[in-house]
Amino acid sequence: MTSREKASSNRRVKSSAEQLFQPIACPLCDAKSVTIVRKGRFPANVSEDFLRQTYRSSSDQGLFEQVVRCRRCQLVYLSPRLKPGLIIDAYAEGEDESFISQDPMRIRTFKTALQRFSKKYRLPFTKKTKLLDIGCAGGAFLRAARSLGLSTVGIEPNRWLSEYARKKHQLDVRAGVLSDYTFNDNEFDLITLWDVIEHVPSPESELKEIHRILKLGGYLLINYPDYQSLPARLLGKKWPFWLSVHLTYYTPATIRRHLEKRGFEVLSISPHWQTLELGYVLGRITPYFGAAKYLRRGAEKIGLATLPIKYWVGQTKVVAKKC
């Protein structure tokens, strides 16, 4: 391709991107002055079909959008960003058998986390303890919570996952996003977002609605990939949470600021260790570390692919309380 052809191609990519993407103000403080953290590098194909595949909630598509930091509050986020309607539509699509294969491992992690939470904050788990899990995927957390005696409701944008949770595990899981439903004021004792807040197009609106439907003194539990964590800093561009589906990159300071702005008291911020099978973890990191595929093959040959491993690459858990 000649330099003239390359220039023409770049203009077409830019023109296509401009039609589908839009610059946004800071999701936390609404400021517009930013510093570029990572420049965007759009692939040649930025058609709507390509983006629908990219923005599936379980997508492993590496980040190609521009990442910016707000000069006023220091929040890190994507801008320009795909229009919200297209993001939500894309989340609704796709199937992921590999993801739900790890549900037994996730349930183990979730049960331990819930039991420690109940003991530390003295929240009894009974049928009267009402839980809402936003972005519940195939219902692993809801199954863990149900086994401990809670009354559970879930919301999941992906149609396939929400149907799987309802039909396979008889869970009350509603397809869509939080804004699709009208819950009562002060309805829930506990609301959770596991690996969800970074996907939400408007975390400000989400937190505002959560505050309304959570009981006074009720708890909010959020898990997110910490942009400032040691693994993120050590791995740099190979940090596996640099994904196009992650729209906002919080740190302990910015997540605290956002929660306090919306009327929550932050009680704790701590690393969240997860347990998954060795083969699955090696498969997920292969796009970042090519040698992982050989390790996975070796693990499969010697029967260690299903070995449970506990790991941490920056996932961070926040417990907050409605004031």
Q: In DSSP terms, which residues pair with 77 in a beta bridge?
A: 68, 248
Burial class (CB in 10 A: 0-12, 13-18, 19+), 6: exposed
Residue 23, pLDDT > 90, answer yes
Band of the pLDDT at 182, cuts 50, 70, 90? very high
pTM recorded for the entire structure: 0.91
**SS3 assignment, position 77:** strand
Beta strand 76-78 with 67-70: parallel, antiparallel or unpaired?
Answer: antiparallel
Q: Which two tokens stand for residue 273?
A: 């260790």
Please identify which residue in the block is written with the tokens 């942009």. Answer: 227
Closest CA to 245 of 282, 200, 193, 284: 200
Contact 243, 287 (CB under 8 A): no
Contact 319, 268 (CB under 8 A): yes
Phi/psi at 11 (5° precision): -65, -40
Q: In DSSP terms, which residues pair with 321 in a beta bridge?
A: 219, 265
Closest CA to 166 of 176, 190, 270: 176
Q: Where are the alpha helices (DSSP H) in the chain?
A: 3-20, 48-54, 84-91, 97-100, 103-121, 140-147, 159-169, 203-213, 230-235, 252-261, 278-285, 292-301
Please identify which residue in the block is written with the tokens 């050590």. Answer: 234
- How many H-runs (helices) and E-runs (strands) does the chain carry? 12, 15
**SS3 assignment, position 195:** coil
The pLDDT of residue 191 is 98
Band of the pLDDT at 307, cuts 50, 70, 90? very high
| Average pLDDT of the chain, as a whole number | 91
In percent, how much of the chain has pLDDT > 90? 76
The per-residue pLDDT for range 127-177, each reduced to its tens digit, is 999 999 999 999 999 999 999 999 999 999 999 999 999 999 999 999 999
Band of the pLDDT at 59, cuts 50, 70, 90? low
The pLDDT of residue 1 is 47
**Cα dihedral angle (108, 110, 113, 118), rounded to 10 degrees?**
-110
Identify the residue with better confidence: 96 or 162: 162
Distance CA 200, CA 206 (A): 8
b (16+ CB within 10 A) / e for 278-307:
bbbbbbbbbeeeeebeebbeebeeeeebee
Q: Which two tokens stand for residue 157?
A: 């944008």
Q: In DSSP terms, which residues pair with 151 in a beta bridge?
A: 130
Closest CA to 274 of 231, 219, 238: 231
Q: In DSSP terms, which residues pair with 34 in a beta bridge?
A: 70
